Amino acid sequence: MVSVIQEEHPASQVMRWSWTHHAKCVALARSQLRKYLRHWKAEELNDSALLLLSELMTNAVRHAHVSPGQNIDTVFEVSEERLRVEVSDASNKLPAVRHVDHDEEVGRGLSLVARVATRWGTATRKVNGQYAIGKTVWFEIDRETCKADA
């Protein structure tokens, strides 16, 4: 069972979601980001943003080996200039870009994030403004970049 907690801040264009640590949450998070971008008339970001969110959510589900009950949190924030997406989990292990052979089938996620995002990085996890166990991996995509590609 996947449980979701939603918190919206429409005036500031910020949406927060908390997901149970389960593989189904990747598709659900993509769906919510798609709806969010449609609501804020930022559909030009769909392809890149959904791809990168999938990578970060999949990494959190697969690699953040945490105790049951620990959630994966997402934050979506769009402005006229950019989209910022954050994915937080309760693992303190920071991700690293891997250099993989051409025939390897896994390990390219963060390389893809680094190529597609305008900016990306990691930070100590915060919950309600307070430091918490775990990390946040984030990316930003400038809207002008996506408009130029269209």
Q: State the pLDDT at residue 20.
A: 85
Percent of the chain with pLDDT over 70: 77
Q: State the pLDDT at residue 146.
A: 72
Query: 65, 75, 74, 85: which is closest to 25 by C-alpha?
Result: 74
CATH architecture of 4-149: 2-Layer Sandwich (3.30)
Q: What is the CA radius of gyration of the chain?
A: 15
Q: State the pLDDT at residue 128.
A: 78
CA distance 72 to 57: 8
Structure tokens at 103: 């025939």
- 5-14, 34-43, 54-63, 81-90: least confidently modelled range: 5-14
pLDDT at 3 over 90: no
Q: What is the DSSP string of 74-134?
A: EEEEE-SSEEEEEEEES--PPP------TT-SSS-HHHHHHHHSSEEEEEEEEETTEEEEE
Q: State the pLDDT at residue 106.
A: 55
pLDDT tens-place string over residues 16-65: 998 988 889 999 999 999 999 999 999 999 999 999 999 999 999 988 76
90: left (phi over 0), alpha (psi -120 to 50) or beta: alpha
pLDDT at 1 over 50: no
This prediction has a pTM of: 0.84
